[in-house]
Amino acid sequence: MRYPVPFSRWSVLFGAVAWSATRLWAADMGEALTTIRAVGPEGQGNAAAAQAWAQVAGAPADQLPKLLDAMNGANERARNYLVAAAATMADRQLKSGGVLPVAELGDFLLNPAHQGAARRLALELIAKVDISAAEDLMPGLLDDPAPELRREAVKRILDAATARATGESKGVAIALYQQALGFARDGDQVEAITQGLKDLGRNVDLVQRLGFVTRWQVIGPFDNTGGVGFDKVYPPEVAVQLDAEVEGREGKVRWKEFVSQHEFGMVDLNKAYAPLKEVAGYAYTVFHSEVAQRAEIRLGCKNGWKLWANGQFLFGRDEYHRGAEIDQYRLPVDLKAGRNTILVKVTQNEQKEEWTVEWEFQLRVTDPSGRVLRSAAPADKMALR
């Protein structure tokens, strides 16, 4: 087909302008994205980032993959500038009747090397254009390394199982629950699946499945009258000597072994000693890692607590009885190949209400995506030395 000459000229002209504009945007985008990625603590870089945000959000939608790519390695503050810009670009494009670069977004989504939140955003952008395509992509994400995608895929199976848990489809529900269990990494999802199976007569060893550390050496009680014990440095914080005898709140105390039998791996210091108030206790274990690796120590605790890994203080929190849940606190840690020590201090306050009795914690070790890491050697007393 031959276009009339004037139309052809206009097409060339418009094409050239569009090409130039895109090139201009692409060049400016890079600088603007760098500015956004430079935002730092306490609002540093915000003023410049706001200008850059306007520029990025005003870019044509074909720049979306570049924007998503900028999320790779971006800090969490910058990520929030970028996610808002992406949605703004996409919404403007769709409202004006334009299209999104779905194929490129798909490529981005399916590349596990990209950052999980950015890939999740790519999926959501695809869903804005074609919700059924996004649904169709979901089963393929069941074993995805990105928790943001894997969780959603597991949820769909979990929902399907729950919908069949009553009535004549119980057998199907069991199969679906078991499939979900095979891929779930988030503690709350595993707990929900386990409960669903339990309701259908199938028991799951939650401790094994979630990898709770159950074998510990414990020592206590130390004084925490009026909360003074949280900051007070007792001997275990100076050095863990499992055969030492040290001064506790009511005389000499020694380390002793405590193995949790709790279905959620709770290390209950009230069981190790007695129900006590205004006390502090310590629990110590060794985790053998086959390789040096980035990991997370994941803690659930409704008492005050402090945690050290390989003698380095990671974090602590002086809060009592506001609630606890699996993976309540996620503490990034670099595990060494071989022996890694973990020391937990747990403090109990003075409250007398029935819901303030607990003096306990649960702990597991995972990789950053939530995959359970298990100690390569048992944490028996000899191994702890």
Partner 1 sequence: MKHIVSRSLPLLAAWWSLSAGSVALADWTQFRGRDGSGAVAEASLPTALDPQKSVRWHADLPGRGLSSPIVVGDRVFVTCSSGARQSRLHVICFNAADGAMLWERQFFATGRTMCHEKTSVAANSPASDGQRVFALFSCNDLVALDLEGNLLWVRALSLDYPNVSNSLGMSSSVVVSEGTVVAQVENDTQPLALGIDAATGLNRWKLDRPKMANWTSPIVFRDPATGRETVCLQSGKGLLGVEPATGKELWNYTEGASTVPSTAAAAGVLYVPSQGITAIKPGAAGQAPTQLWRANTLRPGTSSPVVSGDRVYTINGAGVLSCGNVQNGDRVWQLRMKGPFSASPVMAGRFLYAPNETGLLQVVDTSKPEGELVSEMELGETILSTPAVTTDSLYLRSDGKLWRISGG
CB of 50 to partner 1, least distance (A): 5
For partner 1, the binding residues (CB under 8 A) are 24, 28, 39, 41-44, 46-47, 49-51, 53-55, 57, 76-77, 79-81, 83-85, 87-88, 91, 117, 148, 151-152, 155, 186, 188, 302, 315, 317-320, 322-325, 328
242 close to 384: Cβ distance less than 8 angstroms: yes
Long-range contacts from 45-54, C-beta under 8 angstroms, 24+ separation: 49/78, 49/81, 52/81, 53/81, 53/84, 53/85
Q: Which is nearer to partner 1, 66 or 317 (CB)?
A: 317
| Nearest-approach distance from CB 17 to partner 1, in angstroms | 13
Distance, in Å, from the CA atom of 326 to the CA atom of 342, rounded to the nearest integer, reads 18
Minimum CB distance to partner 1 smaller for 80 or for 310: 80
Nearer to partner 1 among residue 80 and residue 179 (C-beta): 80
Shortest distance in whole angstroms from residue 28 CB to partner 1: 5
Contact indicator for 379, 215 with CB cutoff of 8 Å: yes
- 298: region left, alpha or beta (phi > 0 left; psi from -120 to 50 alpha): beta
Minimum CB–partner distance for residue 41 and partner 1 (Å): 5
In the complex, least distance from residue 288 CB atom to partner 1, rounded to whole angstroms: 29
Nearer of residues 258 and 329 to partner 1, judged by Cβ = 329
Least separation in angstroms between residue 301's CB and partner 1 is 9
Nearer to partner 1, 46 or 208 (CB): 46
Measured from the CB of residue 160, what is the shortest distance to partner 1 in angstroms? 17
Listed in sequence order, the DSSP H helices in the chain are 5-37, 46-57, 64-71, 76-95, 102-109, 116-129, 131-137, 147-163, 170-183, 187-199, 206-210, 235-238, 269-272, 381-384
360/300 Cα distance (integer angstroms): 9
d(CA 339, CA 291): 10
Q: Is the peptide bond before 368 cis (omega within 30 degrees of 0)?
A: no
Q: Which two tokens stand for residue 306?
A: 């402090």
3-state secondary structure (DSSP) of residue 323: coil
CB of 84 to partner 1, least distance (A): 5
Q: Which candidate, 274, 242, 235, 238, places its Cα nearest to that of 257?
A: 242
Closest CA to 369 of 293, 295, 289, 265: 295
Which CB sits closer to partner 1, 286 or 299?
A: 299
Residue closer to partner 1 by CB (options 84, 376) is 84
Closest to partner 1 by CB, 21 vs 292, is: 21
Please name which of 95, 71, 101, 65 lies closest in space to residue 83, comparing C-alpha atoms: 71
Do 278 and 352 touch, CB atoms closer than 8 A? Answer: no
Q: How far is the CB of 108 from partner 1 (least distance, A)?
A: 17
Residue 30 or 171: the one with the smaller Cβ distance to partner 1 is 30
Taking the complex as a whole, how short is the minimal distance between the CB of residue 376 and partner 1, in angstroms? 31
Gap between the Cα atoms of 236 and 347, Å rounded: 14
Nearer to partner 1, 58 or 235 (CB): 58
Rounded to the nearest 10°, the torsion over CA 97, 102, 105, 106 is 160
